[in-house]
Amino acid sequence: MTLADSGRGTGTRSVAPADRGATRIADRVVAKIAGQAAREALGAPPPDSAPPNATVVVHRETARVRVALELPYPCDIGGQCAAVRRRVMERVGTLAGMHVSDVAVQVERLHLAHAHDAAQGRTR
């Protein structure tokens, strides 16, 4: 074996993947990913609404997510919540490399669409 083969002459050393350590992604980072994913799933937010807020509990490589959000009304509330769940699971899995075991969606408030239109002088 030569020095180049052993890695000694090049200044680099080959380390087995299991010996390299691990990357830990902070819960708050996973929560930000989940919040952004919820915004993506909802599209345009209702006027004067707060952005979705996510909280996360991570145990090993599994995340449990709770997303609090506001929705326009009328809308398909169940469909919107399902879209948020799917998008959060997909994005957290892709970007953080974690399995998402549960996504709880909590609707904090409904915004009446026609109330905003009436305030703007429009009728439906």
Q: What is the pLDDT of residue 123?
A: 47
Nearest to 91 by CA among 24, 43, 35: 35
Query: What are the domain boundaries of the chain?
Result: 22-119
Higher per-residue confidence, 116 vs 82: 82
User: What is the pTM assigned to this prediction?
Assistant: 0.75
User: pLDDT grade, residue 81 (50/70/90)?
Assistant: very high
- Residue 102 CA to residue 104 CA, distance in Å, equals 6
Residue 114 clears pLDDT 70, i.e. is over it: no
Render pLDDT for 29-67 as a digit per residue (tens, 0 to 9).
999 999 999 999 998 888 788 999 999 999 988 999 999
Q: Give residue 57's Cα distance to chain centre.
A: 13
| Fold assignment, 22-119 | GMP Synthetase; Chain A, domain 3 (3.30.300)
Q: Give residue 72's Cα distance to chain centre.
A: 21
- Residue 35 CA to residue 56 CA, distance in Å, equals 10
Read off the pLDDT of each residue in 105-116 and give the average, rounded to a whole number. 83
